[in-house]
Amino acid sequence: MHDGKNGTGNDGPPATQDAPPGATFRAELRRAVTPRATILLCGVLLLEIAFVVSFIGAFHSPRPRDLAVAVVAPGQAQAGLIDELNALPGEPLAARAAESASEARAMVLDRRADAALLAGPGPDRLLVASAGGPAAVQSLQAVFEKTDGDVVVTDLRPPHPADGRGLSSFYLVLGVVIGGYLASAALSASYGARPAHPHLTVVRLLALAALSVVSGLAGVIVVDPVFHALPGHFGALWGVATLITFAAAAAGMAFQVLLGTPGIALSVLVFVVLGNPSAGGVYPSTLLPPFWSAIGQALPNGAGVTLVRNYAYFGGHGTSAAWWVLAAWAAGGVLVSCLASFRRPPGADLLP
């Protein structure tokens, strides 16, 4: 007579000692690590490898390439000197003529040139602006030490004393970009990565815009009144930092509306794996390998570093392309988010 008890005479589930060896562990493994979790773990591994490859690939062997140099020399010697500099092995320099020393100086300070060489009687003078990137200046000095041992270096615009090696611009941009795409990821916790209705997409974008204003303000307070690393341009840098934050946030939002949760991984790939090493913070684009040099100024990170650095040190010169890049990322993120939301059935991702 069956009394509802297991083979041991006790109430409870059947004994497990008769199960095949290892079956319990496999069952627990399937419960603990689902197929979806396995896919996510593989995605994390791929991002990790991409991170290592991107940063080491960009930074492992910096080499100058096409550093712009304005050349001033007397008479016919100017053309010959320009040809000589442009013929250096590896093409580290892109030399061109300047009419006078004052014009060459202006070219350095408005970022049309990385340096200016003033050749003439006595030692040659090399005019640089290390606030635009100390690594580039060091590379220029190394090149000219090999070709002209008597050159005298004059730094027209060094970094502020509290800016150390001139990296505060990069770190400010790094912080607000991370804040932007993490803000869009945080909003995905509200009923999923894809808003259930188009008007919710608009509400999220407005929330991200408000956060961007606060983020930009907080970042500039840190670099100006708190640490005095980039003083004297509070309003301009606040506007720039706000736009950088919103460009990253709107783009991250667009990735999520299009792809769902995998859009967060795409944000990490674009803004961290590719954007940070190519931004021109540690090494300018002229010292990076071709791939990172090509993509750097097309991403919010690189465009943001250019804007912050050039407004902090060079009166906003040489920033028109960077403005267009950031505006395109911000506007594109808004447009793609809205269009993708309107194409989805209302309430498609609404939780029961």
Provide the pLDDT for residue 12: 47
Which tokens in the block code for residue 121? Answer: 């009687």
Asked whether the predicted pLDDT for residue 333 surpasses 90, the reply is yes
- Rounded (10°) angle between helices 234-259 and 168-187: 40
pLDDT given at position 20: 54
Helix axes 198-221 and 234-259, enclosed angle (nearest 10): 150
DSSP 188-242: TTTT-SS-SSHHHHHHHHHHHHHHHHHHHHHHHHIIIIIT-SSTT-HHHHHHHHH
Whole-number pLDDT of residue 322: 98
In this predicted model, which residue has the larger pLDDT, 116 or 261?
116
Instruction: Give the pLDDT score at 78.
Output: 93
Determine the pLDDT at residue 254.
96
pLDDT above 50 (res 351)? no
Per residue in 206-228, pLDDT tens?
999 999 999 999 999 999 999 99
Mean pLDDT (whole number) for 235-255 = 97
Better pLDDT: 347 or 143 = 143
- Give dist(CA 238, CA 218) in Å, integer: 9
pLDDT of residue 27: 77
Q: Average of pLDDT values for 18-26?
A: 61
pLDDT of residue 346: 52
Over residues 296-309, the mean pLDDT reads: 98
Residue 188's pLDDT band, with cuts at 50, 70 and 90, is confident
Q: For position 145, what pLDDT does the model report?
A: 83
Residue type present at position 329: W
CA dihedral 308, 309, 315, 316 (to 10 degrees): -50
Q: What is the pLDDT of residue 5?
A: 47
Confidence of residue 63 (pLDDT cuts 50, 70, 90): very high
The pLDDT tens digits for 110-129 are 999 999 999 978 788 999 99
How confident is the model at residue 204, as a pLDDT? Answer: 93
Inform me whether the pLDDT recorded for 104 exceeds 60. yes
Q: What is the mean pLDDT of residues 311-324?
A: 97
**Averaged confidence pLDDT in the chain:** 89
Mean pLDDT of 238-267: 95
For 69, the enclosing helix (H) or strand (E) is: strand 67-72
pLDDT score at 76: 87
Q: Given this model, what pLDDT does residue 289 score?
A: 95
